[in-house]
Every structure is written in C-alpha cells, then in structure tokens.
Chains A and B, each alone.
Chain A
Amino acid sequence: MADINEKKPFKKNPLSMQMDLSRFTLATDDEKQSVDVMRPPSTFWRDGFKNFRKNKMAMVSVVVIVLIILAIIILPSFIPYTYSETIRVDGQRDRTVTNLKPYEWSEKEQEYIDNGGVLFPHVMGTDQLGRDYFIRVIIGTRISLIVGFFASIIVLVIGLIYGSISGFIGGKVDLVMMRIVDIIYSLPDTLMIILLSFVLKETIGKQIQGTILSKIGTGMISMFIVFGLLYWVSMARLIRGQILSIKENEFVLAANAMGASTSRTIRKHILPNTISVIIISTALQIPSAIFTESFLSFLGLGVAVPMPSLGSLASEARQGLQAYPFKLLYPAVIISLIVLALNLIGDGLRDAFDPKLRK
C-alpha cells in the first residue's frame, strides 16, 4: 500500500484548512439539480432532422432536386417549342434545322433573324429530326421523375397493405403470404419487365392507339404493372417486421404490471422507427425506378416515340455520337445528377435516423 503514504495525512488541524464551515451544510435538491446538467431532451424527429441538416451532401442534394423540379415545371412555359414538333420557320418546313449545336441557328432561321424576326434560341441545339433538344430534355426529365415517383408510390401502397395484413393476421395466413413473397423475391425482375413490356406492346398496343395511354407507351404501362407485381416485396417484409415488433411489445407489456405505457412505447419508439424506415425505403426506391425506366427506354422498350425519356434520349444520341457528343451528355448528366442526389438524400436520411448512430 505504498501510495497511501502519498495521501495527505488526515490528522492535520482541519480548522487550519481555512474552510468556510457553512459550506458543510446539506445541499438542497434544487442545488443538486442545477449541477446535474443533462443534455436537452429531444424527440426522435427533432434529433433526426438535426442530424440530417448537418449532412452537407444531403442538404445540397435536396436543393438540387428542388431546383430541378422547379425548372421542369416553370421552364416549358417560356419555351415556344414542343417536344414533338419539328421546327418550322415562318410556317415553313426547314430541312436544315437538324442537328444544330447549342445556340446555333439553321440557315432559314438565320435568314429570319436577319430580316428582323425574333426566335427563341435552341439552348441545347436540335436533334436529328429537327426538334428542339432543350424542351425534349426537360420533358424527358419530367417523365423520368414522374415515373420514378409513381412507381415508388405503387410499391409503397401495395407493400404496406400486404405487409400489414400478413403481420396482423399472423399464423398460417402469414406463413403462406410470406412464402409467396419468397417466391416473388426470387424472380429475376428485369427480365420479367422486359418480357412483359414486350408482350403488352404486342397485345394491347393496337387497342390503345390514339388514347392517352398510347402516348405514355406500353413500356411505361408494363413497367407500372410489373412494379406493382414484383417490386413491393421488400417493403412488405419491412412493414411486416415492424407490425410484428408492435405485437411483441404489446404482449410483453401487457404481461407487465405497467399496462399504461403500452401505447406510449409504440408511439414513441416503434412508430417513428417504422415511419422512418418507410420514408428511407421509398426515397431509395425512386432512383431505382428511374434507373429501370431509363434502362428500358434505352433498349427501346420504354416510352413510346415521340415522347422523350432521359433513357431514350441517351439511346438516340448514340447515332452521330462522334459529331454531336453533347446530345448524349445532356441527358446523361441530368439523369446521373438526379439519381446521385436522390441516393445521397436517401443515405442521409438513413444515417440521420439510424438509432444506432445516435449518441
């Protein structure tokens, strides 16, 4: 016990320690509380959003997405061209208006301007059929985003319903429903989409000619159908897992004497977790849907001509790639930007709301 000798010997005269004897009175509870500083209490949501805001990449991505959405809503009103019309100058067909570089004018257009006419510039040039490329890119972006969004909603709704039913009812029904999920999960989705879009095009293609559906294209329709048939399974599993944990908690707490906390636990802990899981899953589903749609369009199985999609634009750009590389770059950059931003937002959400990472 060598170091005991290093301690101050206690038998010093305490009065010489010059202590204020009043300090030795008992401390009140209030005084203790004021010293016992705890971190400010925070709800799940407040914590999560605070974390998310700290993530610079995610915040930038949110801004980017908002800007893009605003652009595609507002800009077309300013552009006098439509995505499907071949450009006419002064009411006449212009053969030279094809494959223009950005801000270039065709011969006829140049003439028109020289004679005092005013034309809206072709910000991204024109394509090989003489259509303004900028408006096509914008509309293409619209299509891609809308498709991505709606596909995710379909997945969410179906998955939510299926998973909830399976989880709530439980027992044999749950078992069977999950077996079905297992099988669907093993099906190779992309192949099925390609197959089905092809079949649909052949079967109902003629019937819907001229209707609004034909404008969207059988590729799109079949994509929605296949998403509705195949892609909801992960979401269903997630939801079911959450429902099961709710049921488990109810059971455990009911067996406990503290019955009143049941709903509180669900509300405070499980529900936020469930909702955040759903949000994150959906957020990450959108870029995946956009990927699939553009993949199909690239192969010619997506949107129907002349409706543009970022995928089909990229595919069309392959011809004449050496001469006009920008026709590939515009849709390529935009689609990559959108997917990147959405991925970063999804990752950011996941990191922000992950309870394991909270300190």
Chain B
Amino acid sequence: MAEVILQVKDLHTSFFTDAGEVKAVNGVSFNLEKGKVLGIVGESGSGKSVTAYSIMRILSFPGEVTGGEVLFKGIDLLKISDKKMREYRGDSISIIFQDPMTSLNPVYTIGNQIDEAIRLHTDRKGEAIRQRSIELLRLVGINDPARRVKQYPHELSGGMRQRVMIAMALACEPDILIADEPTTALDVTIQAQILELIADLQAQLGMAVIIITHDLGVIADMCDEIIVMYAGSVCERGNTDDIFYSPKHEYTKNLLRSIPKAQKSNERLVPIAGNPIDLLNLPEGCAFAPRCRAAMKICLTEHPEELAMSETQSAACWVNVRDQIMAETEQGGDRA
C-alpha cells in the first residue's frame, strides 16, 4: 500500500537574475505515495510552484535546480537527459496550471492540442487519436465533445478550459498529476466543480495528485497529507486534522487565523503582519521570524530543524523546542 513513487530529497532551486540569486526553494523534501493526494500550501513566493516546476524540469530562464534529488520510481529525474525527461512529461507526470486561458495555445483547436499529447506518448494513429481526445473530453465532463473538440480556446468558458487542461494532462494516464493553483483563476462557483472533478478522477484512475494552492479551504477535504511552505522551506507537514486542528508552526497558525470563517462573521480578519519575504536576502534564522509574534532570539539566528511531533506530523519551529524544554525541565525539576 505504501508504495512511494516520488521522493523529493533536499531540493534547492534558485533564479540567477541580474539583481542576484533568488533562492526560491531551500531544502524541500517529501514523499508521495501511489494513489495519494498531497497538498502544498503557501503564499506567493513560498516556492510551492517552483518546486513543482523543478520536479518536471520546466523552470523558465533564469531558474536552475541547484541541489537535491527527485526520484521517480527510483530514477533521479534531475540527472537524466532532456530527451528522456520529455518522455516522462505528459506521460508519467502531468501538470495543469493556474490560468487556463493563457495556458492553451490560442491559434489551435483544443482537439489539436489534446491530440498532440496523445500522439507524443502513445502508439495510436489517425482517427484513433481523435477518438481518444473526444473520450477524454467526455471524461472531464464536457458536453457534446465531438463538437467542442473543433473549437478554439477563446470559445470556451473558464471552467471548461480548465477541464480541457485536465483532459490534456490525463491523456496518457499519468502516475502523478500536479495541479498548480487549479482554481485560483476561476469563479468561486466553478472552483468547487473543478475540485470535485479532480477528486473524482483521482479516485477513478488511481493516480497520485499534488495540489498546490495558497487557499487552505481548497484542500481541506481532499488531501491525505498537507505540506505548508514558507520562503522555500517546509514549515510543517501533517494530515488534514493535524494541520487544521493542531498546527505546530507559527506560520500555519497565522494562516488559519486569516481564513474568513463563515460562522464567526463578526470576528476581525487577522492579516499577517510585516512584509513578504525578500528571497534575495534570506535571513540566517527562520525566514518567518521577522513577522512572527512568538519569535525568540534563537529564531533570528538559527534555522529550525524539522522535528517530528507525532507519527503523522512534523514542524520546523523553535517554539516547539522551547515548549518541550519547559515541559521537560518541569518534569526534571519534579524528579530532582
């Protein structure tokens, strides 16, 4: 059951810009098991999308992976040739992006674009390809697929375009589907539909899914495990209950406080204080410390290690260490 198909080990990625090296991903590790859903949560600039692009090696200039391993079924994707990587992309690992309008080529029909994915990675020929495309459109819930398949992206609504993206990503029945902010650019009403679709397809096809989002609400029901990222590092990871009901990192706690909760409508929204992180000048200690109300002196100088809190949860925060020390000294004091 616990077959790990993707292992990301200590991934580092930077963008070498004119202004300096922007360290977007700083030591991210996680495992993804077959058929499970992993959620990666963080604000803009947290490095979550860059992590995904690093895995698929579709970083745009001037980004480069500077360290770590990405093991897919035992093979380090970072070390294989570009040509070999192309065989994996769209076939074993697929990704869908945030804005479906700009993610589809405006001058080709959607049929053409889905056909391309099929033609690249399977042996199908001729009419069989188009048949498969139509089948995929039906799978993602698009009505009248035979007609739609000849249309251009601008003729479809936002929600439908995202469905097309999903169809294209699933064309070759990938082992892993990465969904990078799949609902951010869509209307609220459509968001739920798309998420449901992804969940259904995941159950149907048994693939592993990585959902990347800044919106905790999106992943509340779907994920087996959640990773919270800030400034390119993992703050905390755990299952849904762990994260939502007993967060162990100050940043996570802040995130939860800033979600508008429908029931308590008279409560003030608590935005997170301070400025967003400048990835050009990362501090030595915990990246969140300058904005953290519970920050201690050690937070400013030492980067916290990720320590296990329970069987399912771990966090990288000095507050937990302090709490543990205080608990132990009390006990120790009693014993002494």
Let me know if chains A and B touch directly in the complex, using CB atoms closer than 8 Å.
Answer: yes
Q: Contact check: which of B17, B274, B300, B301 meets A359 at CB < 8 Å?
A: B17
Instruction: Confirm or deny: B294 has a beta carbon within 8 angstroms of a beta carbon on chain A.
Output: yes
A24:B296 contact, CB within 8 angstroms: yes
B297:A1 contact, CB within 8 angstroms: no
Question: A2-40 interface mask toward B, CB cutoff 8 Å, 1 = contact, 0 = none?
Answer: 111001111001110101011111110001110111110
Cα(A39)–Cα(B277), bound, Å: 11
Cα(A23)–Cα(B322), bound, Å: 10
Interface size, chain A (Cβ < 8 Å): 29
Instruction: Confirm or deny: B281 has a beta carbon within 8 angstroms of a beta carbon on chain A.
Output: yes
B300:A31 contact, CB within 8 angstroms: yes
A7:B307 contact, CB within 8 angstroms: yes
Cα(A31)–Cα(B299), bound, Å: 11
Instruction: Confirm or deny: B223 has a beta carbon within 8 angstroms of a beta carbon on chain A.
Output: no
B325:A24 contact, CB within 8 angstroms: yes
Instruction: Confirm or deny: B285 has a beta carbon within 8 angstroms of a beta carbon on chain A.
Output: yes
Question: A36-70 interface mask toward B, CB cutoff 8 Å, 1 = contact, 0 = none?
Answer: 11110000000000000000000000000000000
Q: Contact check: which of B2, B280, B300, B311 meets A27 at CB < 8 Å?
A: B300
B280 / chain A contacts, CB cutoff of 8 Å: 39
Cα(A36)–Cα(B280), bound, Å: 12
B274:A36 contact, CB within 8 angstroms: yes
A3:B30 contact, CB within 8 angstroms: yes
Instruction: Confirm or deny: B40 has a beta carbon within 8 angstroms of a beta carbon on chain A.
Output: no
A21:B17 contact, CB within 8 angstroms: no
A3 / chain B contacts, CB cutoff of 8 Å: 7, 29-31
Given A21-B325, A32-B295, A7-B306 contact (CB < 8 Å): yes
User: In the assembled complex, how far is the CB of residue B69 from the closest CB belonging to chain A, in whole angstroms?
Assistant: 13
A35 / chain B contacts, CB cutoff of 8 Å: 283-285, 289-290, 300
Instruction: Confirm or deny: B298 has a beta carbon within 8 angstroms of a beta carbon on chain A.
Output: yes
Given A15-B328, A24-B325, A37-B283, A1-B225 contact (CB < 8 Å): yes
B314:A4 contact, CB within 8 angstroms: yes
User: In the assembled complex, how far is the CB of residue A48 from the closest CB belonging to chain B, in whole angstroms?
Assistant: 15
B328:A7 contact, CB within 8 angstroms: no
B311:A1 contact, CB within 8 angstroms: yes
B309:A10 contact, CB within 8 angstroms: yes
For chain A residues 260-303, which have a beta carbon within 8 Å of chain B? none
A27:B307 contact, CB within 8 angstroms: no
User: In the assembled complex, how far is the CB of residue B180 from the closest CB belonging to chain A, in whole angstroms?
Assistant: 23
Instruction: Confirm or deny: B204 has a beta carbon within 8 angstroms of a beta carbon on chain A.
Output: no
Interface residues on B, range: 35 or more
Question: B293-320 interface mask toward A, CB cutoff 8 Å, 1 = contact, 0 = none?
Answer: 0111111111001111101101000100
Instruction: Confirm or deny: B321 has a beta carbon within 8 angstroms of a beta carbon on chain A.
Output: yes
Cα(A36)–Cα(B282), bound, Å: 9
Cα(A38)–Cα(B279), bound, Å: 10
Cα(A39)–Cα(B290), bound, Å: 15
B275 / chain A contacts, CB cutoff of 8 Å: 36, 38
For chain B residues 92-130, which have a beta carbon within 8 Å of chain A? none
A7 / chain B contacts, CB cutoff of 8 Å: 306-308, 314
User: In the assembled complex, how far is the CB of residue B74 from the closest CB belonging to chain A, in whole angstroms?
Assistant: 14
Instruction: Confirm or deny: B146 has a beta carbon within 8 angstroms of a beta carbon on chain A.
Output: no
B7 / chain A contacts, CB cutoff of 8 Å: 3
Q: Contact check: which of A15, A27, A38, A359 meets B325 at CB < 8 Å?
A: A15
Instruction: Confirm or deny: B188 has a beta carbon within 8 angstroms of a beta carbon on chain A.
Output: no
For chain B residues 183-225, which have a beta carbon within 8 Å of chain A? 225
Q: Contact check: which of B19, B285, B294, B305 meets A8 at CB < 8 Å?
A: B305
Question: B244-277 interface mask toward A, CB cutoff 8 Å, 1 = contact, 0 = none?
Answer: 0000000000000000000000000000001100
B298:A33 contact, CB within 8 angstroms: no
Which residue on chain A has the smallest CB distance to residue B324? A14
> Which of A3, A8, A31, A39 has the most chain B CB atoms inside 10 A of its CB?
A3
Cα(A24)–Cα(B325), bound, Å: 10
Which residue on chain A has the smallest CB distance to residue B292? A32
Cα(A56)–Cα(B299), bound, Å: 44
Q: Contact check: which of A13, A14, A27 meets B297 at CB < 8 Å?
A: A27
A27 / chain B contacts, CB cutoff of 8 Å: 289, 295-297, 299-300
User: In the assembled complex, how far is the CB of residue B241 from the closest CB belonging to chain A, in whole angstroms?
Assistant: 14
Cα(A359)–Cα(B21), bound, Å: 12
B312:A37 contact, CB within 8 angstroms: no
Instruction: Confirm or deny: B4 has a beta carbon within 8 angstroms of a beta carbon on chain A.
Output: yes
Ranked nearest first, the 4 interchain pairs of A and B with the lowest CB-CB distance are: A36-B290, A23-B298, A7-B308, A14-B325
| 20 further A-B pairs in the complex, CB-CB below 8 A; given A26-B297, A35-B284 | A2-B2, A7-B306, A7-B314, A8-B307, A10-B308, A10-B324, A14-B325, A19-B325, A22-B297, A24-B297, A24-B298, A24-B318, A24-B321, A24-B322, A24-B325, A26-B296, A27-B289, A31-B297, A32-B289, A39-B281
Offer 15 A-B interface pairs, CB within 8 angstroms, sorted by A. A2-B2, A14-B321, A14-B328, A15-B328, A19-B325, A23-B297, A24-B322, A31-B297, A31-B300, A32-B290, A35-B290, A36-B274, A36-B291, A37-B283, A39-B280
